[in-house]
Structure 1
Amino acid sequence: MADSDNSMTLPFVTRRQVLAGGMIISTTLVLEKSAVAGDPVATSTPPDPALVLWREWETAHKLTERLCRKQQRLETSLAESVSFPRVTVRLSEGDDVTIHSIEALNEVLGKGPDVAVLRKAAEAEFAAHQACWDAAAEETGYTAALRAERVAGDRAGDLLEAFATTPATTLAGVAGKLDAVLREGEAWEECSEFPWPQIRSALSDLVRIAEQMVPE
């Protein structure tokens, strides 16, 4: 039984790696204390716009993580009860290929007249399985959970983009920027390679400096 490479790409499977962000809460508290103690700008109004933005991003980021975990649980249950939409076709060489999308089906079979009957039957079988999946996804709440996660993720992404044009006026604001970039970037990249170790080092430097300013 041979599987198509395309069958491994499931468009409805969430690929985001869920990260825990435990360190930054205590980090930011330290930096905020140091800002009040040693940074005259910290007591001015309005408050540090970068830190305000970070708090908004942190809320959106945590909501996205919670919704991601929820939809992943629902997806796992759905996959076990219904299974992902797929169709298995037998090629002229005699190999059985399992395919998980119409695009992959067209790529594997092509659009020649010699496979028109096979392609039409495969498309109908896939459509029936997709309809079964869609109905179950709606009934179990998976569709709503996936939609909510995307909305929250878009909100967190917009806030992340805003850091580029939002000036920091305190050490805590700078740390907030670094934390957001680090936590979002590490979700997609190899964490041991540039620039993640350097960003982690810079964030640690800020914490160390802040602790020296506020020893308690």
Structure 2
Amino acid sequence: MADSDNTTTLPRVTRRGVLAITANAKEGRQPKKLVGDHAEAVQSADPAVAAWREWLIAHKEVERLCHQQQRLERNLVETIGFPCATIPLHDGTSVRLHSIQALNEVLGSGPEDEAVRAKSKADLETHQQRWEAADREIGYSAALIAEGEAADQAENLLQLLLETPAASLAGVAAKLDAVLSEGEPAEACAEFPWPHIRSVLGDVIRIGQEVMPEQILTNRLGTSKCGRRRGCIIGISNGAKGDAA
């Protein structure tokens, strides 16, 4: 008597739910009725997807704060300018310096240099005070600190995600998405290991297409204004229309 086949095949709608999770979570959309409760069950069952969602919230907050502090810094630079002092040199030229240390490195110890040092130090301190007053008024340093704290939180959640075993293709894609988003220095970077990671992501997409050959898994990558990668969105589109399901 032949052995019975104990292999269990996921229901068709459940497979669809697994592959659509990342797109739905990334774009803030709810799964369509076709997926329904099955997709909700799959999403809840994959701890990697849950960890990825937590990381994504933190990642978006870092980007928001990054944009905010960059805007505030531009405001300070345009209105106040980086604190500096212009130092006349013995050869008739001048140099702009931004710290007391740089000032001491350029000037000697003679009486003439000491006079220049005293005036330049006073100019630099006055400029620094103007910068700090404007900083307090618009909240630049506070935004910079908040960005750093948010980045630490996102890094901790990324580590948690990478330590969480994936239970579905969506979980695997989510982990690859986070790695590319946080690590790849530029889009389509040719340095190791980024082409290899993109290749693995391509394998996940290919396997998904083999599981559901009538569907197309799309992989969209972009770059945020802060220079960080925005992650891949793995979803399902119908035919040539390219509409995510």
TM superposition score normalised by structure 2? 0.62
Shift of 1:55: 1.1
Two-structure CA RMSD over aligned residues (Å): 3.3
1:106-154 CA-partner distances (Å, limit 9, x unpaired):
4444xx5334443343222212111111111111232332222222112
Report the CA distance shift for 1:118/1:62 in structure 2 as closer, same or farther (over 3 A): same
Which residue does 1:29 correspond to in 2?
23
Structure 2 gaps of 5+ residues are 1-18, 25-30, 216-237, 239-245
Cα separation, 2, equivalents of 1:26 and 1:103: 57
Report the CA distance shift for 1:54/1:45 in structure 2 as closer, same or farther (over 3 A): closer
Report the CA distance shift for 1:179/1:45 in structure 2 as closer, same or farther (over 3 A): closer
**Amino acid aligned to 2:198:** R
Cα separation, 2, equivalents of 1:88 and 1:189: 40
Alignment of 1:107-186 (within 5 A): 107-109=105-107, 113-114=109-110, 115-186=113-184
Which is bigger in relative contact order (C-alpha 8 A, separation at least 6)? 1
59-68 or 180-189, which deviates more: 180-189
Report the CA distance shift for 1:86/1:179 in structure 2 as closer, same or farther (over 3 A): same
Report the CA distance shift for 1:163/1:208 in structure 2 as closer, same or farther (over 3 A): same
Work out the percentage of aligned pairs sharing the same amino acid. 49
More strand by share: 2
Cα separation, 1, equivalents of 2:98 and 2:128: 10
TM superposition score normalised by structure 1? 0.69
Cα separation, 2, equivalents of 1:103 and 1:27: 55
Report the CA distance shift for 1:67/1:96 in structure 2 as closer, same or farther (over 3 A): same
Q: Which runs of at least 4 in structure 1 moved beyond 6 Å after TM superposition?
A: none
Which residue does 1:13 correspond to in 2?
none
Which structure has the larger Rg? 2
Counterpart contact for 1:88–1:96, Cα < 8 Å:
yes
Task: Give the secondary structure class of the aligned counterpart of 1:169.
Answer: coil
Counterpart contact for 1:89–1:97, Cα < 8 Å:
yes
Counterpart contact for 2:49–2:174, Cα < 8 Å:
yes
**Amino acid aligned to 2:92:** G
More helix by share: 1
Shift of 1:62: 0.8
Shift of 1:46: 7.0
**Amino acid aligned to 2:180:** L
